[in-house]
Amino acid sequence: MSTRTPRATATHLYQLFDDGDMEGLGDVIAADMVDHNPVPGATSGLDGMRTLVAAVREGFTDTKHELIYQGETTDGWVVNHWRMTATHTGVWFGTPATGRQVSFTGTDLMRITDGKITELRHVEELLQLNAQLTA
């Protein structure tokens, strides 16, 4: 059982994205996590999250997640509104590298049990991102 708070677990996930720490994902993601919006072609769970982190790392460098808002319920749900900034230096879901700086936001709702994310609902502002990549 983890001594990390639900908020700290959620925050740590973004650091793992920024660091590209695929091994560290197992510290915060339950193997059978339910992702209600997995990456196209990926499964739910820890392996699906590894697929997402790999896609972000392949498409972008200098990624930085900033928490804009974080809240927590008494029953283990954490909501995060975040902004990611990065440089588009690789292929991102079919869009070739542009070298452009990007900034977009997203919102995640995570259920955290015993220090691990067991359920995830997320929405990324992909229109913001797409407009920056194709303008």
* pTM flag (> 0.95): no
Whole-number pLDDT of residue 12: 96
Whole-number pLDDT of residue 40: 80
Q: Strand, coil or helix: what is 132?
A: helix
Q: What would the pLDDT profile of 4-43 be if each residue is shown by its tens digit?
A: 899 999 999 999 999 999 999 999 999 999 999 988 888 8
**39/78 Cα distance (integer angstroms):** 21
Q: Within 10 A of 56 (CB to CB), how many other CB atoms are there?
A: 18
Its CATH architecture, for the domain 6-134, is Roll (3.10)
Domain boundaries, the chain: 6-134
Radius of gyration of the chain (CA): 14
Q: What would the pLDDT profile of 76-125 be if each residue is shown by its tens digit?
A: 899 999 999 999 999 998 999 999 999 999 999 999 999 999 999 999 99
CA distances from 111 to 16, 68, 115, 126 (A): 18, 19, 10, 23
